[in-house]
A and B are shown apart, each in its own frame.
Chain A
Amino acid sequence: MSEPMELKQRVIRDVTVAFLEAGRGRPLVYLHGGFGLTGHEAFIGHLAERFRVIAPDLPGFGATELPRSWNVVDDLACFGLDLLAEFGLDDALLAGSCLGGWVAAEMAVRSTGRLRGLVLIDATGLKFGDHLTREITDIHAMGEGEQVETLYADPSRARRDTAAMSDQELAALVRNRESFALFGWKPYMHNPVLRRWVHRIDVPALVLWGEQDRMVTTDYGRNWAAALPDATFELVRDAGHYPAVEQPGASANRIISWSEETVS
Chain B
Amino acid sequence: MRVWHFSEMAYPQAWDIGHRMGTFRVTVPNSHYDPVIGADIYERHFAEYELCDELGIDIMLNEHHSTLTCTNAAVPLAGAVLARTTSRSRLLLLGSPIANRPDPVRVAEEMAMIDVISRGRLEMGLVKGAPYEVAPANMNPARLMDRFWEAHDLILKAMSTQDGPFNWESENYHYRQVNIWPRPWQQPHPPVWITALSPRSGRAIAERRHVAAALLSGGIAGAMFDGYRERAAELGWAAPPDRFAYCGLVGVGHTEEEGRRRADEVAGYVRTSPIVAEPFTNPPGYNPIAANVALLKMGPTAFGARVQTVDGRTIDPTRATVQEFIDARTVFAGTPDQVFEQIRTFHREVGGFGHLLIMAQGGTLSHDETCANLRLFAEEVMPRLDTLEVPENRWGEHAERSAAAQ
Chain A residues at the B interface, C-beta cutoff of 8 Å: 69, 71, 140-144, 146, 162-163, 165, 167, 170-171, 173-175, 177-182, 185-186
Chain B residues at the A interface, C-beta cutoff of 8 Å: 135, 138-143, 171, 277-280, 283-285, 289-290, 292-293, 296-297, 299
B284 touches A178 (CB 8 A): yes
> Chain A residues near B280 (CB, 8 Å)?
141
Smallest CB gap from B141: residue in A: A181
Q: Complex Cα distance A140/B284, Å?
A: 8
A143 touches B143 (CB 8 A): no
Given A71-B171, A143-B279, A185-B141, decide whether A177 and B297 contact each other with a Cβ distance below 8 A.
no
Q: Complex Cα distance A70/B301, Å?
A: 34
> Chain B residues near A167 (CB, 8 Å)?
293
Smallest CB gap from B282: residue in A: A177
A178 touches B296 (CB 8 A): no
B279 touches A141 (CB 8 A): yes
Smallest CB gap from A144: residue in B: B278
> Chain B residues near A71 (CB, 8 Å)?
142-143, 171
Q: Complex Cα distance A254/B293, Å?
A: 37
Q: Complex Cα distance A171/B293, Å?
A: 6
Q: How near does chain B come to A112, taking the closest CB pair, in angstroms?
A: 30
Q: Complex Cα distance A140/B296, Å?
A: 17
Q: How near does chain B come to A31, taking the closest CB pair, in angstroms?
A: 19
> Chain A residues near B142 (CB, 8 Å)?
71, 178-179, 181-182, 185
Q: Complex Cα distance A181/B290, Å?
A: 17
Q: How near does chain A come to B133, taking the closest CB pair, in angstroms?
A: 14
> Chain A residues near B277 (CB, 8 Å)?
143
> Chain B residues near A171 (CB, 8 Å)?
289-290, 293
B279 touches A140 (CB 8 A): yes
Selected from A142, A162, A179, A185, the residue in CB contact (under 8 A) with B297 is A162
> Chain A residues near B171 (CB, 8 Å)?
69, 71
Smallest CB gap from A179: residue in B: B142
Q: Complex Cα distance A182/B141, Å?
A: 8
Selected from B279, B289, B290, B297, the residue in CB contact (under 8 A) with A178 is B289
A181 touches B296 (CB 8 A): no
Smallest CB gap from B291: residue in A: A174
> Chain B residues near A162 (CB, 8 Å)?
296-297, 299
Interface centre among A71, A174, A182 (most CB of B within 10 A): A174
Interface centre among A146, A163, A167, A181 (most CB of B within 10 A): A181
A170 touches B293 (CB 8 A): yes
Q: Complex Cα distance A173/B284, Å?
A: 11
Q: Complex Cα distance A185/B284, Å?
A: 10
> Chain A residues near B289 (CB, 8 Å)?
171, 174-175, 178
> Chain B residues near A69 (CB, 8 Å)?
171
> Chain A residues near B278 (CB, 8 Å)?
143-144
Given A171-B293, A174-B292, A185-B140, decide whether A180 and B284 contact each other with a Cβ distance below 8 A.
yes
> Chain A residues near B284 (CB, 8 Å)?
140, 177-178, 180-181
Smallest CB gap from A175: residue in B: B289
Smallest CB gap from A176: residue in B: B284
Q: Complex Cα distance A167/B297, Å?
A: 9
Smallest CB gap from A145: residue in B: B278
- CB pairs A–B below 8 angstroms (10 shown): A71-B171, A140-B284, A143-B278, A163-B297, A170-B293, A171-B290, A173-B296, A181-B284, A182-B142, A185-B140
Selected from B135, B279, B283, B299, the residue in CB contact (under 8 A) with A163 is B299
A182 touches B143 (CB 8 A): yes
Given contacts A163-B299, A170-B297, A177-B284, 13 further A-B contacts (CB under 8 A): A71-B171, A144-B278, A162-B297, A162-B299, A171-B289, A173-B296, A177-B292, A178-B284, A178-B285, A182-B140, A182-B143, A185-B140, A186-B140
